[in-house]
Amino acid sequence: MIQLYKMAFRDLGRNRRRSFFSALALGIGLALLLLMAAVVAGEMNGSLDSSIKLQSGHLQVLAKTYDENKTSLAWEDLVEDPAAVAAQIAALAPVKVATPRLFASGIIASGDLSIGVRVIGIDPPSPANQPFKDGLLSGEWLASDDRSGILIGQTLANKLSLKTGDSINLLVNTSNGDVDQQPFTVRGIYTTHTPGFDQGSVFMPLAKAQAITQTENHASTIFVLLKDKAQTAAVAAALQSGQYQVKTWEQMNELAVQFEQLANSYMALLYMIILAITATVIINTLIMSVFERTREIGILAAIGMRSGRIMAMFFAESSLLAVGGIAMGLVLGGLLVFYFVHYGFYIGNMGLTGIMLGERIYAQPTIKDTVNLSIITFIVTLLAALYPALLAAHMEPIEALHGGK
């Protein structure tokens, strides 16, 4: 076996430039695969993490009859005495924070412009609001007793040409089916770097949201964040009761999970295309080597080298190209991934709903993807050597010797 690899190394060294560029092509293919895998993983994980922090939480506790698609404000569809319910949930050891939130449909009007929004009533001091506090660009955070202030997202502020301190009119649905309209002052402008969320979400203190929607002492949901996401199922089981429904982050992000599965299917197809292109380079290199060494192969066969050993010699060459290409690919791919881990891809506002895509997608490499793609690249390179190896192994010694003249 060692002798075979010595011969293979010598044969590849006969045309070092061709061998180098063949391995480089393989390396570039692997680097692209590593970057694509890291970007897809980063986009999916980033989207889910954003949704959990901003929208779904790890768990939500809702009234049995509440339909989030209709944003019902009927008292029978809401959680009664939400502060007490949240306190009971927060007392559980795995729970990091539990806070009531009230959702209502509304329209913001400023001058001749108007945009539909989701009004979210929050408990301002709750740690669950930290992502919005951290993203405050101007103005100040809401106070619990503020009765005329709201927070709006940067995307919405840009569309309506609003700044901190401006006045707007807000129309909101109420629990009895009417619409209430009141003037509000923009207390602050925030960004979560998720344009779809920032454009459609405005915040006000829970007490004010309950007053304007006529849902006193009720909330749409209890928003729950856990210390460990792995405890989601256990905590959900503990909270199950006949009075409330409990939804997990998987159930509330079903569209994102399905999108991830679809994206992985398409990515697998792209992986195969890239590997097929790089495999043709290896095939071409080894076929050229076969024709250049026809006389040599004939001599080896004439002195008794079996066809299986001739095939093994070409597989050895292929494996050396694979090792060199994978080494280059890991270096090139590592540099690319490192760059996009820190700087990401800027995509702006994609206009997608149901998926919390940020302004940038950051790569997120995993050891599993790196190992799997390296192994797949190695196997594909070996398979690419099959035809050239068979071509060499089935040469008749006499014809090969004449073909070398």
Distance between CA atoms of residues 258 and 86, nearest Å: 31
For residue 102, the cross-strand partners are: 121
Q: Are 75 and 175 in contact (CB under 8 A)?
A: yes
For 260-288, give the secondary structure using H, E and C.
HHHHHHHHHHHHHHHHHHHHHHHHHHHHH
Give the alpha-carbon dihedral of 53, 59, 62, 68, to 10 degrees.
Answer: 50
Distance between CA atoms of residues 95 and 229, nearest Å: 10
pTM of the predicted protein model: 0.76
Q: pLDDT 10s per residue in the chain (405 long)?
A: 677 677 777 777 777 888 888 889 999 999 999 998 898 888 888 888 888 998 899 999 999 988 877 788 888 999 999 999 999 999 999 999 999 999 999 999 988 889 999 999 999 999 999 999 999 999 999 999 999 999 999 999 999 999 999 999 999 999 988 899 999 999 999 999 888 888 889 999 999 999 999 999 999 999 999 999 999 999 999 998 878 999 999 888 877 677 777 777 777 788 888 888 888 888 888 887 777 666 666 666 666 667 777 778 878 888 888 999 999 999 999 999 999 999 887 776 655 555 666 677 888 898 998 999 999 999 988 888 888 878 777 665 555 555 544
For residue 138, the cross-strand partners are: 189
Which residues are within 8 A (CB) of 242 and not within 5 positions of it... i.e. 6 or more apart? 64
Nearest Cα to 388, choosing from 325, 316, 320?
A: 316
Q: Are 59 and 232 in contact (CB under 8 A)?
A: yes
Nearest Cα to 101, choosing from 243, 225, 240?
A: 225
